[in-house]
């Protein structure tokens, strides 16, 4: 049995002179929830199109469960939710779910009914009457109800309200419990942080990092607050310490790298309370790209 759900080797896509994807090497293990992040134009959708066989690579290769991406057989293993869901306008939600069930890799009808309830989807309406969020719900219900081993989700929750976002997270967890793999492309960093085992960060077509959210946090700055009595600890020239701010008996600073030098400096003062806050994925993302790139 294949242990990788998605594998790419030097996957490259060029549009004229633009290098949209530059030698991507990636392995997503079967059963993982994998986040695929990057600012606009980083090459995320290009990667997905290559994985689905909707575009041909300029160089390199990609496999879905060891089947060449683009091979019709690869489609039997996956369900896809595009960023812009287009549905047949004259068909009702229920008819569309039936149509997708007939063409997809098998469907769990009982679970599909449960998802329709959970996502509060009125399947009696024709698709032309659906809002963006409702179209997205139809595609999500259809994908989550399949037994496809791989779910490829491109910005699947951009139109969903916070309640539905919770249902989405729940459905991803159920998929993981069933052993399905989720490849999730998203700008909702809190969502990625909540559901993903690992994340890949892409920038200008190149892979910047692949790591667990925990590992990323450890690599990035932590925010430290220390309350003290007596003279303020001297943190000038302490390795890794930056953005020091003092407000009366409270000192806050950011810390990069090992905490030992900062702790030694704090030990010299009478510290009464210490809080250490790990960065959110959003802060890590901004560290990589800077505010201007968002």
Ligand X SMILES: Nc1ncnc2c1ncn2[C@@H]1O[C@H](COP(=O)(O)OP(=O)(O)OP(=O)(O)O)[C@@H](O)[C@H]1O
Residues within the interface to ligand X (CB under 6 A): 15, 18, 20, 38, 40-46
Q: Which is nearer to ligand X, 36 or 111 (CB)?
A: 36
Q: Which is nearer to ligand X, 158 or 173 (CB)?
A: 158
CB 183, min distance to ligand X, A: 13
Closest residue by Cα to residue 156 from 70, 45, 280, 65: 45
Q: How far does the chain reach from its first CA to its final CA, in angstroms?
A: 40
Q: What angle do CA 168, 172, 178 make, to 5 degrees?
A: 145
CB 294, min distance to ligand X, A: 11
CB 7, min distance to ligand X, A: 19
Phi-psi region at 12: left, alpha or beta (left = phi > 0; alpha = psi -120 to 50): beta
Tokens of 148: 């496809």
Q: Which is nearer to ligand X, 26 or 96 (CB)?
A: 26
CB 202, min distance to ligand X, A: 7
CB 15, min distance to ligand X, A: 3
Q: Which is nearer to ligand X, 8 or 46 (CB)?
A: 46
Tokens of 98: 């039936």
CB 55, min distance to ligand X, A: 8
Give the span between the Cα atoms of 159 and 188, in whole angstroms. Answer: 11
**Parallel, antiparallel or unpaired: strands 33-37 and 181-185:** parallel
222 within 8 A of 257, measured Cβ to Cβ:
no
Q: Which is nearer to ligand X, 58 or 173 (CB)?
A: 58
Q: Which is nearer to ligand X, 184 or 224 (CB)?
A: 184
Backbone angles phi, psi at 23, to 5 degrees: 65, 50
Q: Which residues pair with 171 in a beta bridge?
A: none
CA atoms within 13 A on the CB side of 75: 11
């Amino acid at each position: 049995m294949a242990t990788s759900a998605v594998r790419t080797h030097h996957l490259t896509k060029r549009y004229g002179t633009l290098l949209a994807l530059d030698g991507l090497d990636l392995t997503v293990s079967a059963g993982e929830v994998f986040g695929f992040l990057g600012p606009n134009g980083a090459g995320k959708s290009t990667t997905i199109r290559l994985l689905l066989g909707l575009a041909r690579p300029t160089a390199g290769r990609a496999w879905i469960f060891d089947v060449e991406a683009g091979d019709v057989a690869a489609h039997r293993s996956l369900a896809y939710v595009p960023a812009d869901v287009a549905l047949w306008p004259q068909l009702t939600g229920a008819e569309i779910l039936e149509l997708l069930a007939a063409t997809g890799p098998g469907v769990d009808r009982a679970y599909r009914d449960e998802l329709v309830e959970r996502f509060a989807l009125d399947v009696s309406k024709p698709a032309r009457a659906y809002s963006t969020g409702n179209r997205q719900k139809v595609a999500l219900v259809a994908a989550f109800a399949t037994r496809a081993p791989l779910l490829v989700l491109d910005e699947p929750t951009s139109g969903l309200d916070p309640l539905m976002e919770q249902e989405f997270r729940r459905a991803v967890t159920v998929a993981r419990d069933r052993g399905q793999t989720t490849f999730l492309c998203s700008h909702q960093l809190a969502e990625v942080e909540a559901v993903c085992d690992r994340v890949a960060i892409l920038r200008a077509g190149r892979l910047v990092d692949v790591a667990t959210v925990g590992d990323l946090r450890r690599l990035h700055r932590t925010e430290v607050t220390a309350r003290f009595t007596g003279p303020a600890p001297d943190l000038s020239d302490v390795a890794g310490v930056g953005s020091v701010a003092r407000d009366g008996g409270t000192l806050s600073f950011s810390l990069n790298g090992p905490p030992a030098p900062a702790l030694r400096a704090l030990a010299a003062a009478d510290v009464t309370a210490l809080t250490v806050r790990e960065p959110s994925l959003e802060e890590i993302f901004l560290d990589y790209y800077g505010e201007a790139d968002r």
